[in-house]
Every structure is written in structure tokens, then in C-alpha cells.
């Protein structure tokens, strides 16, 4: 089977993805589009967004700050006009604190982290779920972390935010009507810039986002409603 025939045989999906301009998000864009799916991504880095628009012209990359509800509303309005509601919604956007004991983390840094990692997910869900519910289908993946199920010193704000995502997702799963599902996903330990914040050069001992996405993208595409409420880990 040729590549074109293979792509034609795929049941293509509309995928909305936050945090598409770097790390895991950018790596997933490449894999999803390569498999013939349509991606609507958002991020704050306009230079990176324009590069994505140039590289993947049949997809949609929109500037948005997930921590700001009005910005998310505008993103979702534009995304709905472009593609309709998503089949797969991935909340990936996140940040991490500069490693330090909790009492040394400035209030502004803590608030910025939680407004992105927690409020940002809630904002996206607030403006996306009504259309998904009306369509009676869709899978929601909220990216968690190994630090959403365990803890380490110096990253208390990040751990708190990802533990919150685990609880939010399980509760959301109980609210969803038939046909929809929400799961939390621990992507594993990946050599991203966020990991380098904590691990330094040792981060490069782990697989890079591009290698991770090769197996993670098919895994995400196969998620189904029977998994609603589960706490999953990427292969």
C-alpha cells in the first residue's frame, strides 16, 4: 500500500491541541499531520506559530494564552469556525517552577504556574465541551505527569498542579454524557526544556519529544470512550 493509499484509509480526526509551539505539543503536530489528521493548535509564541502555519498549511495555528479565559474563548470560536468541534482534545500546555523549596517560590511564579496548568485546562474545557456534548462524541486528554501521581522536592507547585489535573479529570469523567470520555495521561519522562529546568544536562539521557511522539500519537488516536476516567501512561 502506498503512503497516499494508507492516508486515505485512515479515519481522519480533528485534533485540538494546546501548547503546540514547543516540546511534546510541537512533536505531536508533526505526527498527527503526517498521519493525515487535521490539527488546530494554540500557543503564545507567534514566531513559532507562524513557522507551523508555513510548515503545515492545511492546519490551523492560533495565538492564545490558556490562562486567560477571554483568550481561550476567542481561540475556541476561531477553531470551531475552522474545523467544527474536535474529535480529540489534548490539554498539553503547561509550565514548571524554577526548582526551589515551596516557601521560596515567589507568589507571582506560583500563581502563573497554576493559572496555566490548572485554570488553563478548565478554560479550554469551558469553551469546548458544549460543542462536543452537542455532537455527542469526543475524547479529552488532560496531560498529567509522573509528578501528578508522586512527588519530589523543589517542584511542589508543579506537583500540586498535576495532582489537581488528576482529580479534575476523574470528576469531569463522571459529569460527561454518553459518547464522551476524559482521561489523564502521564506522558513519561521526556527530554524537553521543562525537564532540563529540573534535570539540567541529565535530561538528555531521556528520549526526545520527536521519538516519544512516534509511539504516543498512535496511542492517543486509539483512545476510546470505554477508558473514561482512567489515569493512563503513554507507551
Instruction: Please write the tens of the pLDDT for every residue from 196-227.
Output: 888 887 778 887 999 999 999 999 999 999 99
Maximum Cα–Cα distance across the chain: 59
* C-alpha span between 126 and 73 (Å, rounded): 9
Q: Which domain holds residue 215?
A: 3-233
Q: Would you give per-residue pLDDT tens digits along the chain (235 residues)?
A: 445 445 444 589 999 999 999 999 999 999 999 999 999 999 999 999 999 999 999 999 999 999 999 999 999 999 999 999 999 999 999 999 999 999 999 999 999 999 999 999 999 999 999 999 999 999 999 999 999 999 999 999 999 999 999 999 999 999 999 999 999 999 999 878 877 888 887 778 887 999 999 999 999 999 999 999 999 999 9
Could you give the number of structural domains in the chain? Answer: 1
The confidence score (pLDDT) of residue 10 equals 57
Q: Which three cell numbers stand for residue 121?
A: 485546562
199 is catalytic: no
CA angle, residues 97, 126, 221, in degrees to nearest 5: 80
pLDDT at 9: 43
CATH of the domain at 111: 3.40.50.720
Burial 179-215 (b: 16+ CB within 10 A, else e): ebbbbbbbbbebbbebbebbeeeebeeeeebeebbee
Point out the catalytic residue in the list 158, 169, 191, 228.
158
Amino acid at each position: 500500500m502506498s503512503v497516499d493509499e494508507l492516508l486515505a484509509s485512515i479515519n481522519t480526526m480533528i485534533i485540538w491541541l494546546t501548547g503546540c509551539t514547543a516540546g511534546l505539543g510541537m512533536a505531536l503536530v508533526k505526527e498527527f499531520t503526517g498521519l493525515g489528521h487535521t490539527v488546530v493548535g494554540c500557543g503564545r509564541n507567534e514566531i513559532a506559530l507562524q513557522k507551523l502555519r508555513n510548515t503545515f498549511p492545511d492546519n490551523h495555528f492560533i495565538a492564545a494564552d490558556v490562562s486567560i479565559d477571554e483568550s481561550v474563548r476567542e481561540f475556541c470560536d476561531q477553531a470551531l469556525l475552522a474545523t467544527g468541534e474536535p474529535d480529540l482534545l489534548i490539554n498539553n500546555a503547561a509550565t514548571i517552577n524554577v526548582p526551589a523549596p515551596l516557601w521560596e517560590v515567589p507568589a507571582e511564579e506560583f500563581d502563573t504556574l497554576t493559572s496555566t496548568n490548572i485554570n488553563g485546562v478548565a478554560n479550554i474545557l469551558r469553551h469546548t465541551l458544549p460543542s462536543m456534548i452537542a455532537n455527542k462524541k469526543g475524547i479529552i486528554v488532560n496531560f498529567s505527569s509522573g509528578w501528578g501521581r508522586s512527588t519530589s522536592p523543589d517542584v511542589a507547585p508543579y506537583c500540586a498542579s498535576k495532582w489537581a489535573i488528576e482529580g479534575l479529570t476523574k470528576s469531569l469523567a463522571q459529569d460527561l454524557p454518553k459518547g464522551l470520555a476524559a482521561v489523564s495521561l502521564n506522558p513519561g519522562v521526556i527530554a524537553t526544556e521543562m525537564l532540563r529546568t529540573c534535570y539540567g544536562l541529565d535530561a538528555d539521557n531521556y528520549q526526545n519529544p520527536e521519538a516519544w511522539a512516534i509511539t504516543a500519537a498512535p496511542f492517543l488516536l486509539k483512545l476510546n470512550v470505554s477508558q473514561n476516567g482512567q489515569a493512563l501512561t503513554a507507551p
